[in-house]
Structure 1
């Protein structure tokens, strides 16, 4: 769509933001409300497909039902030249996938902050009975201030009406897909939590836990192979933080967190020193071996029909079940033919005194065969494509790079840390750690000793929290975050630091607390209409709000507030100016000169009260 195109005489296309799946996405400008918006329009090759249109409508319904600062809001929906479109909140930033790649390694505290925002949004969705079903970094946006926004509720579903077919379909993205979904179980709140566990894994390692050449291989790994330990990638990751991943991604949904709120609660204390000696999480129930469908690619989104029709017209389902049983069909075969559950078929046959064949023996044999073949395939795949990261500690950087190259691995830009045991310039450790199984060609990061000397701490005021924490973390400091409102410092930037700039400190023994701006303080705005100008000024002084006045003749008493430009009850930022209209009384009893005199007097009185006169 060309720049400048007007949609429904209101939305002007500014530029394309991307495309893929069923829709093209644009930045647009709402000419009615004078604001930037995101406009998502269904592609021409999908607009005549009922399933695609239904998914598009589902996104609008799901998102408009959810109001949260961490969920992209849907403002409007419509149709233009036969194509459905959505108008949504515009987020100036990037998706979490790109954010991870650009900012890795991300300080642990910042990782926790990001996950807490994501979990807050997911909790709101779950409380509304909505399962997202496609949580992944590409559907999570990060704005310029580091605020998180979840988007793309296109395949979200209400838990009470979860009717999207699961058999022979995969709904969602394979790298973040809970193991129960490819084998036909319905999506649940806990399948969303599994995806969040994978996202947390990626935030800490810059990679997904399971990597394969095909979706089949990845799905098999999700269902049958243990979740890799992030502490094997980076031994500095606290065990409680790794435990959050292990619990969220347990193979058995019953072993996962019961809710997004409980996961957030556990995550909140995962960096606490009080939990430093926590044992590695082990599920209470055993993880059963899971079999995944071996044809997972390019599955369509199809809705189950609300009313099931009988395969043979003129015969009741009961008669059909009896006929098939007399022909020697097994319960499973009959259930498939009449589109009913095996339990229902068995009940019908038992009620009519008919013996039936069980497919259990056949199923057990097939299960054993698939397990065997799957295991062989998995072992073969790993043997040919994965290597162990060699131990290169205490080597020079060049020696380490040579040894890693011999193992079929490459290196990325190193980071530095202080060390009292490893000589300056030598390797302290690698990320992932030695012994970790990684795919051939993987980039390994060397952590190099900067020696055991103290360092001079930089001045981080005015930096974004993410950049400051990343810099301090790479030097070996422990970083903590404290928030504070500020009228002068933009949201997300550092106001102050607990250790003075220029101080010579040992990073390994130093914790730096960064005080980060949350933007201007906000106050609840009262209804000032009907109050005197003096009372309004007193309220402004107490709440550090600037006022401006406009005089107007009216039937109200002289000096009374008769209008305000911001709605009462709203949150008002203290770095803005509130405009009030003041009555000068009836025009017949006052002249323009007296109004001017009054205005001058009011301005003088207001100046000492942090107010200004128009």
Structure 2
């Protein structure tokens, strides 16, 4: 199916304007003609509609997102599919992806970074409480409006903790610059993996650069395992500095206990070092002896056909 302005989906959602496009789908501004309200409609790209794995990701996103009710998570209203297409109807957010904000203005002020991280961490805690791991936390999946209000979106490769995922053991699925070390190693993603990815986002907002960049997507992914995180300048205020670095710890148990703990640490009084996170922060920037910290096994490149998706 070719999507164009004026197209009416299921006799209800009329497409108006293409507002975003990615590797798998397009996002359209649309009108819900039944309820007479603006909505965002995410559709599979015309050249992807016949790929059952892409359609299944849409189904996963619909099911997992529909279970989440939180002011910092984009609300999903509806899902539909036909012989050659699938679409997801969401609330329309008037804002920019955080990736665009960083590209235009980064590095961002510390108070703005703290606020966006706090909101995103709160959203992740709600998802984790509902049994959903996002698995692809990155700036492109955080939408920020003109007032600085942030919303987490795109649960397309998320995984219900009690259910089966779309990937097999040893497969990396996510974006290489934001993958946790355990995901790179083929271990299952957990809530701690989302915390690591959010800490990478925080580092990028603070510095304007990603902490790990390699000559290829595989090299970038493996850097999360074998290289220490760069130090953040001492000029970065506390508790932001230590909280973000602790989130980058190689071992999940050295990161904040959960997303709520990450958010709470950011709310400590200005200038306060979160003492319970100091060890984790120190481990994140410490040299990795023999390429690996204690408790981690040798990383390996993804198997043939497995990919670490680009940003």
- Interval containing the TM-score (normalised by the shorter chain): 0.7 to 0.9
Name 2:206's counterpart in structure 1: 204
Displacement of 1:293 after TM fit?
2.1
Cα distance in structure 1, aligned partners of 2:41 and 2:29 = 6
Q: CA deviation at 1:182?
A: 2.0
Partner of 2:90: 88
The reply on whether 1:299 has 2:297 as its aligned counterpart is no
Question: SS at 1:117's partner residue?
Answer: helix
1:372-425 per-position Cα deviation (integer Å, ceiling 9, x unaligned) = xxxxxxxxxxxxxxxxxxxxxxxxxxxxxxxxxxxxxxxxxxxxxxxxxxxxxx
Select 2:44's aligned residue among 38, 42, 59: 42
Partner residue, 1:272: 270
Q: Structure 2 vs 1, CA of residues 142 and 239 (structure 1 numbering), >3 Å: closer, same or farther?
A: closer
Larger Rg over CA atoms? 1
* 1:238 to partner: Cα distance: 2.3
In structure 1, the partner of 2:240 is 241
Q: Which residue of 1 aligns with 2:15?
A: 13
Aligned with 1:109 (options 111, 118, 128)? 111
Q: Hey, what's the Cα distance between the residues in 1 that align with 2:127 and 2:174?
A: 17
Question: 1:482 is matched with which residue?
Answer: none
User: CA offset at residue 300 of structure 1?
Assistant: 6.2
Matching residue of 1:254: 253
Aligned-residue offset at 1:298: 6.2
Question: Hey, what's the Cα distance between the residues in 2 that align with 1:274 and 1:87?
Answer: 43
Where do residues 429-444 of structure 1 align in structure 2 (5 Å cutoff)?
none
The gaps in structure 2 that reach 5 residues or longer are none
In 1, Cα distance between equivalents of 2:59 and 2:86? 9
Residue 30 of structure 2: aligned partner:
28
Alpha-carbon offset, residue 162 of structure 1: 4.0
CA distance in 1 between partners of 2:242 and 2:273 (Å): 11
Which structure has more relative contact order (CA 8 Å, sep 6+)? It is 2
Task: Check whether the contact 1:166–1:182 (CA below 8 A) recurs between aligned residues.
Answer: no
Counterpart of 2:301 in 1: which secondary structure? coil
Distance 1:77 1:8 in 2: 10
Q: Which residue of 1 aligns with 2:282?
A: 282
- The separation in 2 between residues aligned to 1:48 and 1:146, in whole angstroms, is 38
DSSP 3-state at the match of 2:162: helix
Per-residue CA deviation, residues 457-497 of structure 1 (Å, 9 max, x unaligned), is: xxxxxxxxxxxxxxxxxxxxxxxxxxxxxxxxxxxxxxxxx
Give the number of aligned pairs: 297
Q: CA RMSD in A?
A: 2.5
C-alpha separation between the residues in 1 aligned to 2:253 and 2:164? 19
The verdict on how the C-alpha distance between 1:296 and 1:177 changes in structure 2, with shifts beyond 3 A counting, is farther
- Structure 1 pair 166–249 and aligned structure 2 pair: CA distance change class (3 A): farther
Instruction: Please state how far the C-alpha of 1:7 moved relative to its aligned partner.
Output: 1.4
Q: Tell me the alpha carbon deviations over residues 43-84 of structure 1, each in whole angstroms, 9 at most, x when there is no partner.
A: 233323322211110000011100111111111111256311
Cα distance in 2, alignment partners of residues 248 and 221 from structure 1: 16
C-alpha distance in 2 between matches for 1:133 and 1:279: 26
CA contact 1:220–1:291 (8 Å) conserved in 2: no
**Structure 1: 5+ residue runs without aligned partners?**
302-614
Contact 2:64 2:132 in 1 (8 A): yes
Determine the structure 2 residue equivalent to 1:142: 144
- 3-state SS of 2:300 partner: coil
Give the TM-score, by structure 1 length. Answer: 0.46
Cα displacement string for residues 291-348 of structure 1 (whole angstroms, at most 9, x for unaligned residues): 32224786269xxxxxxxxxxxxxxxxxxxxxxxxxxxxxxxxxxxxxxxxxxxxxxx
Alpha-carbon contact 1:71-1:149 (below 8 Å) kept: yes
Cα distance in 1 between the residues matched to 2:240 and 2:144: 22
